[in-house]
Amino acid sequence: MIERVNDIDVEKPLVENSLKVDNNKCIFKDAVFFDLEHYIYKKPICIGVFGCCFYDYKNELLKVTQYMIENKRDVKSILKLSKQYFKNMIEQGKKYIVTFSGNNDFTVINYLFKKYNMEFNIQDYFISIDLQKQYENEIHKSIGLKTLEKEFGITRESEVISGSNLAKTFSKIVKDSEYINRMPSIKKEKILLYNEQDVVSLFDIYTKWNDVFANSI
């Protein structure tokens, strides 16, 4: 399994620019920002990459944690690490989980938790904030994450990778124990960077929401 922890410098967010939910503009202080890359064939097969971050208010950093499978044995291991990560966040007082179209990711990870008898359901512990739903409720039209990023002036370092291509890669990983060794390092890095930028974008969009949409609502 690949485990990666990365600190990312970000602008100190302004409370007045942040999305207000339940009369609370400071949710980003008590939130985790979550995104999965996964493989589904009729039913969820595995998490390919688990990605999550939170804002370290004292040091003005985003703390990004990622786990990526390298073989079939990691299917269960990545779930154990994911569960422990969430438990650690709960102990640190995190109450909210911010996603984009998060129901898909919740369905996958909760299904796999249940399949492997891990007795953990994310929505039992966190209040969910889905930025896609928030956009649709306020702006009254549908949107994808990459299009929303453009509205916020977010430029990605990584190339966009389609969900179908990611699924094919994770399918090969779980079916062929040697595939990861033949996989170029640059491809692994691209997948991790793609996922990392997803969770960082969630933070950037959340904390600049009113700066962009104040006059659109």
Measured on CA atoms in the order 91, 95, 96, 102, is the torsion positive or negative?
Answer: positive
146 near 131, Cβ under 8 Å?
A: no
Written as six digits, the tokens of 10 are 């970000």
Percent with pLDDT over 70 in the chain:
98
Give the Cα separation of 100 and 105 in Å (integer). Answer: 9
Which CATH number does the domain housing residue 197 bear? 3.30.420
pLDDT range class, residue 216, cuts 50, 70, 90: low
Q: Tell me the pTM.
A: 0.94
Tell me the CB-side half-sphere exposure of residue 49, using CA atoms within 13 A: 27
Cα 175–chain centre separation? 25
188-205 pLDDT, tens digit per residue, is 999 999 999 999 999 999
Inside any domain, residue 76: yes
Query: Looking at the predicted structure, is the pLDDT value of residue 217 above 50?
Result: no
216 domain-assigned = no
Residue 101 CA to residue 135 CA, distance in Å, equals: 11
**Chain centre to alpha carbon of residue 176:** 26
Give the mean model confidence (pLDDT) for residues 146-171: 87
- Answer yes or no: is 170 within a domain: yes
- Answer whether residue 92 is part of any domain: yes
| Closest to 133 measured CA to CA, from 165, 106, 110, 170 | 106
Per-residue pLDDT band for 184 (boundaries 50, 70, 90) equals very high
**For residue 217, is it within any domain?**
no
Please report whether residue 157 resides in a domain. yes
CA–CA separation, 172 vs 175, rounded Å? 5
Beta bridge partners of 44: 40
Establish if 126 belongs to a structural domain: yes
The pLDDT tens digits for 45-91 are 999 999 999 999 889 999 999 999 999 999 999 999 999 999 999 99
Q: Are 53 and 64 in contact (CB under 8 A)?
A: yes
* Count of the separate structural domains present in the chain: 1
> b vs e for 174-210, b when ≥16 Cβ sit within 10 Å of the residue's Cβ?
beeeebbeeeeeeebeebbbbbbbbbbbbbbbbbbbb
The pLDDT tens digits for 110-133 are: 999 999 999 999 999 999 999 999
Residues 39/95, Cβ–Cβ less than 8 Å: no
Does residue 183 lie within any of the structural domains?
yes
Domain residue limits at 30: 2-211
Structure tokens at 54: 């939170």
Residues 2-53 have pLDDT tens digits of 999 999 998 889 888 999 887 777 889 999 999 999 999 999 999 999 999 9
- 215: helix, coil or strand? coil
* Beta strand ranges found along the chain (DSSP E): 2-9, 31-41, 43-56, 61-68, 96-99, 127-130
